[in-house]
Amino acid sequence: MQSVAKENTTQSESLSEAQNNDFTQKDFDKVWMAFAKAEKSRRPRVSMLLSSKIPQKPENGVNFRFDVSSQTAKDYLELNLREPLQRYLRDNLHNNLVTIRFEMDGAAEPESNGMPYTSKEKYMFMLEKNPALKLLRDAFDLETD
């Protein structure tokens, strides 16, 4: 009976060790992209967002931060994605200490969510990226709606 108890204790110790394995940034990137790809059929926009940038492994190695550009995106991801993503990361990296948090990008303006919606906003956004767009607009006498 004692040998069975000792064997169970040894198994549970090895399981707890297995659930706190160290991993590399490359391992994390692979698991992150697998999750993003799996989300593509259910939530294509979320998949695209997750695929666009992969969090870098922090100094402590387990508390990841994913920056988003709007409060709406942050709230949505916290509510709908944090738990399944965190569980997926923990299971596939074999580390129960992994956490993910979504934060507002420091460059985002607090009063604006950063997404251009109207034609004028889209034009202004693109103009910031490429000032030569104004020359094209003037040459063809184009107007925004």
Residues with Cβ within 8 Å of 54's Cβ and at least 6 positions away in sequence, in order, are 28, 29, 32, 33
6-15, 56-65, 116-125, 126-135: segment of lowest average pLDDT: 6-15
DSSP state of 111: T
Q: What is residue 119's predicted lDDT score, i.e. its pLDDT?
A: 80
What ranges do the domains of the chain cover? 2-108, 115-145
Q: In Å, how far are 123, 124, 133, 134 from 140, measured between CA atoms? A: 15, 17, 11, 10
pLDDT tens for 48-62 read 999 999 998 888 888
Q: Model-level pTM?
A: 0.61
Over the chain, what is the mean pLDDT?
82
pLDDT tens for 22-77 read 899 999 999 999 999 999 999 999 999 999 999 988 888 889 999 998 888 899 99
61-70, 102-111, 130-139: segment of lowest average pLDDT: 102-111
